[in-house]
Amino acid sequence: MSGPLLAVNAGARLDRLPISSFHRRILTLIGIGMFFDGFDVYVAATVLGATLKTGFSTLNQNALFVSVTFLGMMLGSFFTGFLGDRYGRRFTYQANLVIFGLASVAAAFAPSMLILIVLRGIMGLGLGAELVAGFSTMTEFVPPQARGKWVGTLSVLVVTSLPFSALASTLIVPQLGARLGWRTMFVLAGLGGLVVWYMRKGLVESPRWLESIGRTEEAEAIMKSIEEEVAREHGALSQPILSKPGPPTRTAAALLNPVLLPRMIVGIVTLIVANTLIYGFVTWLPTFFVHQGRSIARSFLYSFIMSAGAPVGSVIGMLTADSWGRKPSIIGASAMTILVGGIYPFIQNPVLLLATGFLLVVPIYVQVTLLFAIYIPELFPTDVRMRAAGICNTFGRGATIVTPFMVVALLRSYGIGGVISLMIGLLIVQILVVFFFGVEPKNRRLEEMDSESSVSPLPSAV
């Protein structure tokens, strides 16, 4: 029996592959799963309104529901990083999908709000894990010159689940009634996730990860099958540009070394800022409008119109990552958020308020796509990628637990201007951290990200 191969060079071989149906299949199956993940997160607003209206829940129970959701997502983000680096990408993104799928279906039959809250915590474990696993996995399959666009597309799919969730709620809940409507929404999300789980069973493991932990024979077999599939579509493949062998598999302690620690700081700070922008501003828009004296109906209309900037911003982030680069796009979107945010509290005209609010949401979601989907997974080597991304996401999700209390205190004392001032302060910190500590992954192979050495630009992707 032959011994293990010395080197597969999976990264170099994947990076020289032209974009093909193989990449589109990976994107589709991971993306649809993440769509239902986002759908399940956003459906909470409809569920809580319906349970409160029917007396199934109280305001305090609704607050606990939200807190448990974020706690579950925080724990899911943390544990999936270690599980993904230990047991593989395929195991992790399949496990978290079946967890949130089964828990979501079970939630539709919850006999009490307390049981629903417990099930929501279990759902949160899967929901938090899916974001870390999906983005990290896609990052390892796509060539560097197209990585930003393709991984960013996953973020667009997640963000697009927001209007789809709102539309489904509008069509289903009134027809079935508040008592049955919210249960149906959980069934839709759960069954959708389970169907995708079944469809994903044929997806391959990441050869990069397999090679990084020494399972070289498995990595070689998968690489050959991928290359054969792509060659049937595009003809003979070019020779890979080989990289130097990677270092031995590292423990989590390696994240504190002089190269990776600054990147951990960048990841933690930026995801705290991104989560605060979402859960400290965007999700509070209806409350802000009511606080300013507008009716509930008009507040929700204003919020819906402004939230349309989310998919627009996500698409812009996806398109600029490869052309402008990650750091310039993040810094530019942060600066734009500061500029528009500084004007927003002083606008009274309803039309101008909507236009300015839309323009404020757009750069926020440019950052969401660049940071959650593209930039953070690229910063770390394959053998510790998911652990690092999971830890960064854990800090980011942790911020969502305290953000509501800070927003309420600032709103009561200083109005919307106080909330915006918090956002601007955090964005200034983010700009400085990314500028001084961030690295630029544009057109760089993942294997080159172990060091600060520059590499030659790669040819454009198809």
Which of 8-22, 89-103, 194-208, 394-408 has the weakest average pLDDT? 394-408
- Where along the chain do its domains lie? 8-236, 250-452
Query: In terms of pLDDT, which residue wins out, 22 or 62?
Result: 22
DSSP string, 399-446: HHHHHHHHHHHHHHHHTHHHHHHHHHHHHHHHHHHHHHH----TT--G
pLDDT digits (tens, 9 = 90+) for 331-350: 999 999 999 999 988 888 88
pLDDT digits (tens, 9 = 90+) for 128-151: 888 899 999 999 999 999 999 999
pLDDT digits (tens, 9 = 90+) for 338-388: 999 999 888 888 888 888 889 999 999 999 999 999 999 999 988 899 999
CA proximity to 446, closest of 361, 396, 388, 365: 388
Identical topology for domains 8-236 and 250-452: yes
Phi and psi of 363, rounded to 5°?
Answer: -70, -25
Query: In terms of pLDDT, which residue wins out, 252 or 248?
Result: 252
> Is residue 9 classed as helix, strand or coil in its secondary structure?
coil
Which of 154-168, 305-319, 369-383 has the weakest average pLDDT? 154-168
What local confidence, expressed as pLDDT, does residue 142 receive?
95
Beta-strand runs (E) in 23-124: none
pLDDT digits (tens, 9 = 90+) for 188-215: 999 999 999 999 988 899 999 999 888 9
Contact 451, 361 (CB under 8 A): no
Cα 456 from Cα 282, distance rounded (Å): 40
Cα 286 from Cα 298, distance rounded (Å): 9
The stretch 20-36 carries a mean pLDDT of 93
CA dist 22 to 17, 30, 231, 240, 411, Å?
A: 10, 12, 11, 18, 50
What superfamily does domain 8-236 belong to in CATH? MFS general substrate transporter like domains (1.20.1250.20)
Best mean pLDDT range from 5-9, 331-335, 442-446: 331-335
Q: Would you place residue 238 in the very low, low, confident or very high pLDDT band (cuts 50, 70, 90)? A: confident
Percentage of the chain surpassing pLDDT 70? 89
Task: Tell whether domain 250-452 is in CATH 3.20.20.70.
Answer: no
**Residue 283 CB coordination number (10 Å):** 18
Residue 251 reports pLDDT greater than 80 = no
Which of 26-40, 41-55, 199-213, 417-431 has the weakest average pLDDT? 41-55
